[in-house]
Amino acid sequence: MADVPDIPETRPVPPLNAHGDGREAYQGQPRAQARGSKKQIVRTPGQITDFASVMGIRGKELTPRVHEALTLVMNEFDKVRWELEVSHQHEGRLQNLADMHAFLPVLNRRALYAQITRLAEHAVRTETEAALIYLEIENFGALRKEYGPSASDLVLEQIADVIVANLREIDVAGEIGGGAFVLIQSLSSLKEATEKASAITAALATNPPAVNGAAVHVDQAISVCALTPDMTPAQHIDAAAASLGNIPLGAD
């Protein structure tokens, strides 16, 4: 018969502790750490301190007077934050007013010149094209003499409304005085700008301005030139004004 080896004596399984595993239950004495480590320090409940703080002030120190002072400080913070937000909004409105024409929904000369410079440089950086459209109401002086300043300004408002309605959101429009409008077409070739100029003149012919319910005839002249960074805004406008009429009115 084969020899059967003796079964080695096994350790009794320790009782389950609060963790539900087989680790030895804590009997009031610290358990040994892993080999080679220092003895674990077990703190008694009296040695453990738990506290809450508000802005670095502990609960015991947060007396009613301190709480009242903190409330006043936080209210002042909220007031300053609100005033700062209002100031930023007001600053934005003032900047917008500074850039806009006095009574037309387009840019004034100063803001227009700044946009011409910016968009010309942007076209070079992005290797894209941009064009300038120059539109002049040639009989504006005669309209001013015939209808007076107020009525002639009303005519300009109606012309500006038609122009803005035919532009894209990325386009820029401005009035430089004397019934002359300058439009900047970003991401547009000369051909595309010419098509846009023809569309605007056609829209003005279809929807002429009116004074006291009667349509007013306006003589339009329009030209297009490319934006280049080696020319100033004034040089761009002078070049466009010198070539007025290079686009047949109503041409497709």
Domains of the chain, residue spans: 65-99, 109-242
Predicted local distance difference test score (pLDDT) of residue 223: 94
User: 220: buried, middle or exposed (CB in 10 Å: 19+, 13-18, 0-12)?
Assistant: buried
Predicted local distance difference test score (pLDDT) of residue 6: 58
Q: What residues pair up with 135 in beta bridges, in sequence order?
A: 181, 222
Mean pLDDT for 186-200 is: 94
pLDDT tens, 14-38? Answer: 555 555 545 544 444 445 454 555 5
- Side-chain-side CA neighbours of residue 128 (13 Å): 12
Mean pLDDT for 128-150 is: 95
User: With DSSP H G I counted as helix, E B as strand and the rest as coil, what are the percentages for the chain, rounded to 5?
Assistant: 45, 15, 40
Mean pLDDT for 70-74 is: 85
Q: How far is CA 90 from CA 97, 136, 154, in A?
A: 11, 35, 29
Nearest of 106, 134, 135, 133 to residue 219 by alpha carbon: 135
Please, which pLDDT band fits residue 128 given cuts at 50, 70 and 90?
A: very high
Mean pLDDT for 154-180 is: 96
Q: Which residue has the higher pLDDT, 131 or 91?
A: 131
Q: How far is CA 122 from CA 96, 109, 116, 224, in A?
A: 22, 20, 10, 19
Q: Which residue has the higher pLDDT, 8 or 195?
A: 195
Predicted local distance difference test score (pLDDT) of residue 252: 42
Reported CATH class of domain 109-242: alpha beta
Any idea which of 96-105, 109-118, 129-138, 202-211 has the lowest mean pLDDT? Answer: 96-105
Predicted local distance difference test score (pLDDT) of residue 245: 72
Mean pLDDT for 151-162 is: 96
Taking the mean position of all CA atoms in its chain, how far away is CA 42? 58
pLDDT at position 70 over 90: no
User: 105: buried, middle or exposed (CB in 10 Å: 19+, 13-18, 0-12)?
Assistant: middle
pLDDT at position 123 over 70: yes
Predicted local distance difference test score (pLDDT) of residue 109: 95
C-alpha–C-alpha distance, residues 252 and 250, integer Å:
6
Please, which pLDDT band fits residue 46 given cuts at 50, 70 and 90?
A: low
Q: Strand, coil or helix: what is 74?
A: helix
Can you tell me which residue has the tokens 């290079």?
A: 246
Nearest of 159, 197, 164, 163 to residue 178 by alpha carbon: 159
pLDDT tens, 199-246? Answer: 999 999 999 999 999 999 999 999 999 999 899 999 999 999 998 876
Please, which pLDDT band fits residue 73 given cuts at 50, 70 and 90?
A: confident
Please, which pLDDT band fits residue 96 given cuts at 50, 70 and 90?
A: confident
Give me the chain's average pLDDT, please.
82
pLDDT at position 7 over 60: no
Q: Strand, coil or helix: what is 135?
A: strand
